[in-house]
Structure 1
């Protein structure tokens, strides 16, 4: 997989971002909320490579610490959507009939709402905050994984090895865990990888609107929200957090494309012909 240029770029970017977030206390020049009114709104310099904000806080420090929150905000909703969606899709596809129709109609209702609008509605009920934003975005991802899991189960259920296992008396639970889940792991992993980037964008959007991460905790979306009042003069307040969002989403998309090509040779062959 890493023989592909896109995969190497995506993996390299993601590794750098993860290391920067993990070692933020070591790399950051000062505490994320340390204020210095004498240094407020300073442009990038040797002392402050990414400048300072309206409170004199180092933008570099806040970008590093905000990366921790933003990466978690990308991973946690995907875990929620993947876990619950896979269960729903597997049950719907394997049991079929009324159960399938009922579960898929519920998923269709959720899909009828734009993702960010659905998240805003859920947060309007639960209240703003990081945890509620994660839940809201995770709920919005459930239908995507449910429909994908159902499609894979329907495809695998008619396979000879699954029918043979049933004919030999294997219980439904054994068939699901032994044959169906391993068979549909590849497309789910690819979708999960790409969805991390989507989740980061959604969380940043909620934080930008004041519905996600709340001060004094900060993520890249919250930093963009705080930069609005100082544009275009203090351009660095928006450029660096925005650049980090773009690079992170790009890295996950490149990695997802590489995984899809590696795990599904038919897709790779089709793209080469195109």
Structure 2
């Protein structure tokens, strides 16, 4: 993507993300219509839908030839990442949004012919913007994030993961993952994949594991993590398919092989 074009898209995207954050803060305490999707814990609110519709309207008005993948279905029916594709989660961490009124984020990843060019993750309630353009570093607000540490070991690593790893699942033996939790220094779960990616890029987590995420959960985070020298794969070490749900490993590259080996030792 031409640098001038990318800068224009980036500036527009940041403006819209911050405006969307204002809408959420202004309306989050109003009565919300809450629905479930795939299961009782998969929530969606009227604000999720409104914010995604807001992005779709803005993008289509400004960039009519761009495509949109959105969690709530207001985007396009996309079968490839050819051209410019916006991958949007209007509220990542909806359960946190509903129950806690914090620990959720707006996530916008912009890809050109399958390459992540722009990543934006906005922690709405903390007013913290994580953002990156390919090849230009990653930032937390105006502060550039340093490259990830080169002296991390699994035994002193903090890993983001949810409790589903420790219960019976179809991918990895739960006893292996219980052993994993005992081996690392600590684990954390924040209930928002976007924020877990942001924290991995910031270096306050050394990695993030998830059993099954959609493209809108990870698109922005992959760009940001890349810019600090991190890596993102599925839990077998394969490239992430940005058009399908996938297991996810985002981490400091020093830990990648050890993390994958540990997980694969428990594969069913």
Greater relative contact order, per chain length (Cα 8 Å cut-off, separation 6+): 1
Larger Rg: 1
Instruction: Tell me the TM-score normalized by structure 1.
Output: 0.27
Instruction: Tell me the TM-score normalized by structure 2.
Output: 0.27
* Bigger fraction of residues in strand: 2
